[in-house]
Amino acid sequence: MSDVALRMEHVYKKFRKGEVYNSLRDFLPALTGKMFSQQELSERDKRDFWALQDISFEVKRGESFGIIGPNGAGKSTILKILSRIMKPTKGSMLVNGRLSALIEVSAGFHQDLTGRENIYLNGTILGMTRREIDSKIDQIIDFSGIEEFIDTPVKRYSSGMYARLGFSVAAHVNPDVLIVDEVLSVGDYVFQLKCLKRMKEVVSEGASVLFVSHNLKSVAEFCPRTLLLERGHKVAIGPTHEVISSYLSRSRNKHSSAADSREVAITNVAVRNHLGECSRFQSGEQAWIDIEVTAYKPCSKLSVSLYLTDEKFESILDTSSERLGHGSFSLEAGEVFNCTFELCLNLATGIFHVSSLVYRYDTQTTYDRWDPAATIYLSSDEGIRGIVNCFPTVTRHGTTAKSPVSLAVLNKET
Amino acid sequence: MREELKELNKYRELLMMITYRDIKVRYKQSVMGFMWAVLMPILIVMSGIVVRYAYALASHKPLGTEDITSVAVKSLPWAFFVSSIRFSCLSLINNKDLVTKIYFPKEIFPISAVMASLFDFLVASCALTIFLIAARVGVGLNLLWIPLLLATMVLTAIGIGMIVSAASLFFRDVKFIVEVFLTFGIFFTPVFYDVGMFGDKGKWLLLNPVSPILEGLSACIVRHRPPDLAWLAYALSFALVSSLGGYVFFKHLEPAFAESI
């Protein structure tokens, strides 16, 4: 076998927009109508919609590969084509070995069967043999953590239990190619960790992973290489860091405020490093954020605040020019105010949003907010995970002599 | 095509699993359990006896045991045929999640619907065997025709089942049309009557591909005669053509299933 696990070559996929006849009662009159009018054909061409256009990529054995892009970019269509549910309109694709998709993990469940029966049913649907399931059933039940209810019909399960059972079956398929699509939002925190651990195990056993997610942080952590899609086109492919920063620069949030209806508006926010405007930073790097405020009516006691949030829009930093000791400012109509925040980005690998707010500090009235005004991408050393980077180092690392206390314990045990 | 059949063989464990699921669910849902498999054939047999009794009254002939056993022998396969087509017609629509989300050969659904109905048929056959023994229907070498006749029946059901299941996925009103045909089909099939009653015109009824099978079963079980070979050949070739044609039709449409359901 070659070292290619997955390959797509010039794949196109066309869908038809608009009404599709789904009953004979509508279809037969439409068919006879079509015979008499030639117009119909050109109209049909207009209704075509290309979900994918000229997509080519290759995933090597044992590689983790990410696919990112905004909604409607064609990510799910790619997954459906790879898992052979849909056929490409043009182009070819190749999958070497068993493919398993953690997409709809509980699709094969039947409400009236018990958990155990459903493990067999779903396992067979996902391509396991009966003997394989027999040998793994205890592992699967144990992984799901619902031994107590395993002989209860799944219709009595909570949605969390349902999804956990589904994931447990899918996680034990031992595929050559694993497709993961945002399933890690299943279950509680402990179960999520279990899933992530299992995914890494599958990779270490030599499987390839195709990871599709809106969570750029986990893509950055998990996949060295990534494909960026937009409206069915391949926009970028390559090292994840580069692809993510090109994604961020393309999808900058426009400020939608109707400026003239406001008294004061934020008219520009720019993020730069020591070289100039940019969206990709190294952890610990210095950053400057320029904020431009324009007044349309005279205003006083104004202040500008700056927020940093992580990918899930949880606040990380909240500060303002007034709180940093610069007092307030006043503007006449037509005047422009500029201020620059300088900050040190002691943050771990991930996506961070920069937002800004202009407000009157004594009454706390907000005049304008731009949320998020910019998105930046941080990359830190491999060893750092989480949100902040406190630049940890290990200063001591070695075995010390056994202490008298632990010796006493050991003696007692033997 | 050979490759596709090879793949189907690879998935035979899945076919068994889905059949097992269909049977299990059906028996779990019904309060009567195994009675379910017997109820419909019993109703058909009883209505057949009523019809036969009316014939006997009208023609001033006594109602013989042979008439009743023949109705019973033909009712069961007919019930099997009706329920196979009915279940396979809905098999793709009812498994929408699996059709749109997971890949495997989709003909597994109509085939497993037929298999589950076959299971019901076998359960009912046990009851029928007891009845036939009680009615003192003897045994003979002609019973060896039964496997071939049943295989023809199963093939016909699978062929038609594949066609109607795919068609009903694209057009939602197909299932109503099928239901109408199944309801009135019994009048065009020799279940309550024998083709012989029509004399020469009987051959028109035998054009219905299910008729020669039912007549054949009745001949070899009740009358201890071999089935009419010419008509059996006709039914068998219909079964082969419909199952092959159905398979090609199904496979041709399969790529569009996920987008159209």
- Give dist(CA B1, CA B3) in Å, integer: 5
What are phi and psi for residue A99, nearest 5 degrees?
Answer: -110, 135
Nearest to B100 among A24, A85, A112 (CB): A85
Among all chains, which residue has been given the structure tokens 């019930």? B79
**A-interface mutation test, from B103, B173, B174, B253, most A Cβ less than 10 A away:** B103
pLDDT computed for residue A38 by the predictor: 53
Question: Could you report the per-residue pLDDT of B99-136, keeping only the tens digit for each?
Answer: 888 888 899 999 999 999 999 999 889 989 999 999 88
Nearest Cα residue to B142 out of B224, B207, B73, B205: B224
pLDDT computed for residue B186 by the predictor: 92
Relative orientation angle of helices B108-134 and B146-170, to the nearest 10 degrees: 140
Nearest Cα residue to A244 out of A233, A223, A228, A229: A228
pLDDT computed for residue B137 by the predictor: 86
Residue of A nearest to B103 (CA): A85
- Give dist(CA A235, CA A57) in Å, integer: 12
pLDDT computed for residue A186 by the predictor: 58
Q: How confident is the model at residue B31 (pLDDT cuts 50, 70, 90)?
A: low
Helix or strand or coil: residue A141? helix
- CA B260 to chain centroid, in Å, comes to 28
**A-interface mutation test, from B19, B21, B25, B164, most A Cβ less than 10 A away:** B21
Q: How confident is the model at residue A371 (pLDDT cuts 50, 70, 90)?
A: confident
Nearest Cα residue to A15 out of A50, A53, A56, A44: A50
DSSP count for chain A of H helices, then E strands = 10, 19
**Concatenated DSSP letters of A270-328:** EEEETTEE-SEEETT-EEEEEEEEEESS-EEEEEEEEEEEETT--EEEEEETIIIII--
pLDDT computed for residue B208 by the predictor: 92
Dihedral (Cα; B66, B67, B71, B74), 10-degree rounding: 60
- Could you tell me the two tokens for A261? 């209806």
Nearest Cα residue to A245 out of A289, A290, A282, A212: A282
Question: In B, residues 142-181, which contact A (CB 8 Å cutoff)?
Answer: 170-174, 177
Interface contact flag, B17 A121, Cβ < 8 Å? yes
Nearest to B13 among A101, A110, A130 (CB): A130
State mean pLDDT over A58-76.
86
User: What DSSP designation does A213 have?
Assistant: -
**B29 to chain A: which residues are within 8 Å by CB?**
112
Interface contact flag, B103 A83, Cβ < 8 Å? yes
Task: Give chain A's end-to-end CA distance (angstroms, integer).
Answer: 52
pLDDT computed for residue A383 by the predictor: 78
Average pLDDT of chain A to the nearest whole number:
82
* Distance to chain A for B35, nearest Cα, Å: 19
State mean pLDDT over A358-383.
84
**pTM exceeds 0.80:** no
**Concatenated DSSP letters of A100-116:** EEESSTTTT--TTSBHH
Q: How confident is the model at residue B83 (pLDDT cuts 50, 70, 90)?
A: very high
- Give dist(CA A366, CA A136) in Å, integer: 59
Average pLDDT of chain B to the nearest whole number:
89
Question: Could you report the per-residue pLDDT of B127-186, keeping only the tens digit for each?
Answer: 899 999 998 888 888 899 999 999 999 999 999 999 999 999 988 889 999 999 999 999
pLDDT computed for residue B236 by the predictor: 96
Task: Give chain B's end-to-end CA distance (angstroms, integer).
Answer: 25
Answer yes or no: are the C-beta atoms of B72 and B240 closer than 8 Å: no
- Give dist(CA A269, CA A339) in Å, integer: 10
Question: Could you report the per-residue pLDDT of B217-232, keeping only the tens digit for each?
Answer: 999 999 899 999 999 9
What are phi and psi for residue A340, nearest 5 degrees?
Answer: -125, 130
**B97 to chain A: which residues are within 8 Å by CB?**
104, 107-108
Residue of B nearest to A121 (CA): B17
Other CB atoms within 10 Å distance of the CB of residue B105: 18
Query: Residue A204: exposed, middle, or buried by beta-carbon count in 10 A (0-12, 13-18, 19+)?
Result: exposed
**A27 to chain B: which residues are within 8 Å by CB?**
171
Other CB atoms within 10 Å distance of the CB of residue A338: 10
Element (H, E) at A229: strand A225-230
What are phi and psi for residue B158, nearest 5 degrees?
Answer: -65, -45
pLDDT computed for residue A42 by the predictor: 52
- For residues A399 and B191, the model is more confident at B191
Q: How confident is the model at residue B203 (pLDDT cuts 50, 70, 90)?
A: confident
Whether residue B31 lies within 8 A of chain A, CB to CB, comes out as no
Check pLDDT > 60 for residue A297. Answer: yes
**Concatenated DSSP letters of B151-195:** HHHHHHHHHHHHHHHHHHHH-TTHHHHHHHHHHHHTTTTTTSS-G
Q: Are strands A99-102 and A177-181 parallel, antiparallel or unpaired?
A: parallel
- Give dist(CA A106, CA A108) in Å, integer: 5
pLDDT computed for residue A252 by the predictor: 65
Check pLDDT > 80 for residue B36. Answer: no
- CA A120 to chain centroid, in Å, comes to 31
The contacts of residue A295 (CB under 8 Å, 6+ apart) are A263, A264, A331, A332, A333, A334, A335, A336, A337
Interface contact flag, A86 B259, Cβ < 8 Å? yes
Answer yes or no: are the C-beta atoms of B26 and B116 closer than 8 Å: yes
Answer yes or no: are the C-beta atoms of A296 and A331 closer than 8 Å: no
Question: In B, residues 99-128, which contact A (CB 8 Å cutoff)?
Answer: 100-104
- Give dist(CA A84, CA B254) in Å, integer: 11
- For residues B69 and A160, the model is more confident at B69
Answer yes or no: are the C-beta atoms of B257 and B162 closer than 8 Å: no
- Give dist(CA A264, CA A302) in Å, integer: 9
* Distance to chain A for B116, nearest Cα, Å: 16
- Could you tell me the two tokens for B186? 């019994």
Whether residue B3 lies within 8 A of chain A, CB to CB, comes out as no
pLDDT computed for residue A183 by the predictor: 55
Domains annotated for chain A, with CATH where assigned, are 4-35+43-247 (3.40.50.300), 259-379 (2.70.50.60)
Question: Could you report the per-residue pLDDT of A172-220, keeping only the tens digit for each?
Answer: 888 888 888 765 555 667 777 777 787 778 888 888 888 888 778 778 8
Answer yes or no: are the C-beta atoms of B106 and B255 closer than 8 Å: no
Relative orientation angle of helices A115-125 and B12-29, to the nearest 10 degrees: 150
Helix or strand or coil: residue B26? helix
pLDDT computed for residue B232 by the predictor: 94
Interface contact flag, A107 B28, Cβ < 8 Å? no
pLDDT computed for residue A36 by the predictor: 61
How many Å is the maximal CA-CA distance in chain B? 62
Q: Of the ranges A23-32, A51-60, A165-174, which one carries the lowest mean pLDDT score?
A: A23-32
Question: What length is written for chain A?
Answer: 414
Q: How confident is the model at residue A265 (pLDDT cuts 50, 70, 90)?
A: confident
The contacts of residue A400 (CB under 8 Å, 6+ apart) are none
**A83 to chain B: which residues are within 8 Å by CB?**
102-103
- Give dist(CA A304, CA B156) in Å, integer: 78
**B170 to chain A: which residues are within 8 Å by CB?**
22
Nearest Cα residue to A232 out of A120, A133, A88, A351: A88
* Distance to chain B for A85, nearest Cα, Å: 5
Answer yes or no: are the C-beta atoms of A95 and A6 closer than 8 Å: yes
Question: What length is written for chain B?
Answer: 261
Other CB atoms within 10 Å distance of the CB of residue A72: 13
Other CB atoms within 10 Å distance of the CB of residue A242: 16
Interface contact flag, A80 B13, Cβ < 8 Å? no
pLDDT computed for residue B144 by the predictor: 92
Question: Could you report the per-residue pLDDT of A212-259, keeping only the tens digit for each?
Answer: 887 787 788 788 899 998 888 888 898 888 888 888 777 666 666 555
pLDDT computed for residue B157 by the predictor: 96
CB burial string A137-158: b at 16+ within 10 A, e below: beebbebbbbeebbeebbeebe
